[in-house]
Amino acid sequence: MTTRTITQDRRPAITLSDRDRARLTSLANAALARLPDEAEFLLDEIERARIVGADAAPDDLVRMGSAVTFRVDDGEIRRATLVYPEDADFAAGRISILTPVGAALIGLSTGQSIAWTRRDGSLRRVEVLAVESPHA
């Protein structure tokens, strides 16, 4: 376990679709050598998530392809789409699941918040304000 991981008792319950779990597990395992902290954090999140069928996932669940409006603890409100690394473009509002904030957002629902550690070591908190399902 790395120092980037937040203790279990501070993390909200999260949900993942079975489809996201399978692909994200493969992605995180493949990234362990290149991005160990981010990959380990994502694997920890996958392991603790409640898994549901893709059709049973609530509309306000942050999943791959969701457009998420969120507030960071500095008060800034941002909107971004959660994507796989090859589709990431921060300037275009597409954040990779293999970034600290991307891994923190996955599985959250509207109104939930979670703390994560940025790459510079600072602890941050993000709150989900709205989620647009990738199917909408």
Q: Which helix (H) or strand (E) holds 19?
A: helix 18-31
Full set of structural domains in the chain with CATH: 11-132 (3.10.50.30)
Cross-strand bridge partners of residue 17: 52
pLDDT at position 8:
45
* Residue type for position 92: A
Angle at 106 between CA 102 and CA 112, to 5 degrees: 105
Q: Per-residue pLDDT tens for 77-110?
A: 999 999 999 999 989 999 999 999 999 999 999 9
pTM equals 0.86
Mean pLDDT, the chain, integer: 89
Show the tokens assigned to 1.
Answer: 């376990």
Q: Per-residue pLDDT tens for 7-44?
A: 444 789 999 999 999 999 999 999 999 999 999 999 99
Show the tokens assigned to 50.
Answer: 């409640």
